[in-house]
Amino acid sequence: MIPISWALVHHQFTTAMGLFALAAASDATDGFLAKRFGWQSAIGAILDPAADKLLLATLFVLLTTLRLVPVWLTAAAVGRDVVIVLGAIAYRVCIGPVDWRPSGVSKLNTLCQATFITGVIAKEGIALPPDWVVTMLGSLTFVTAMISGIDYVLRYGRSAWEEAASRRAVHAGGSKHP
């Protein structure tokens, strides 16, 4: 994250592009190996996506400060993650363990964010892709961020509602017996 940020701050966009591609390839390889050989852990299931989100959020904010990404899109992308994390913390504190598995639309949103960021950096570094492609990727990122955020709120809400109903049923059943 730091080398990519450094390259961007110093307007070395082709270097940033290469480092971001390296980070993405490393993350994909790590994920493949973890699944293929069963090298998965509970902490890894939390830390790996958290690191991915931290990288993407950092790049969104940095690209916004460089005036390459609109504030509203960064607010949507980062705001979605903040809502998800705060919802998970609230759920953990009030209800219990959180199911950290990402939804399909969340994975799609992460892909859209990474593709959009790649497009923005490449546009500055090598003058490709065309503006309309970057705009389309930004729009897709926004739409999937909104859908994914709503999906998480509904999933956490439904799970909390079901857990609360289960607890009420246990308490109600327990009060009927002496």
Residues 136-159: tens digit of each pLDDT: 999 999 999 999 999 999 988 888
Answer yes or no: is pLDDT of 6 > 50.
yes
Q: Which residue has the higher pLDDT, 42 or 134?
A: 134
Tell me the Cα Rg of the chain.
20
C-alpha 140/C-alpha 153 separation (Å) is 20
Using DSSP's 3-state secondary structure scheme, residue 11 falls into coil
Q: Which residue has the higher pLDDT, 92 or 126?
A: 126
At 174, the pLDDT band (50, 70, 90 cuts) reads: low
Mean model confidence pLDDT for the chain = 91
What number of CA atoms fall less than 13 Å from residue 47's CA on the CB side? 6
Rounded to 10°, the helix 42-65/104-126 angle is: 40
Domains of the chain: 2-176 (1.20.120)
Given a contact cutoff of 8 angstroms between Cβ atoms, the answer to whether 92 and 98 are in contact is yes
C-alpha 29/C-alpha 146 separation (Å) is 28
C-alpha 53/C-alpha 8 separation (Å) is 18
Lowest mean pLDDT among 40-44, 111-115, 159-163, 174-178: 174-178
* pLDDT at residue 177, as a whole number: 47
Given a contact cutoff of 8 angstroms between Cβ atoms, the answer to whether 53 and 145 are in contact is no
Answer yes or no: is pLDDT of 57 > 90.
yes
At 175, the pLDDT band (50, 70, 90 cuts) reads: low
Q: pLDDT tens digits for 88-120?
A: 888 889 888 887 778 899 999 999 999 999 999
Q: What are the tokens at 140?
A: 């897709």
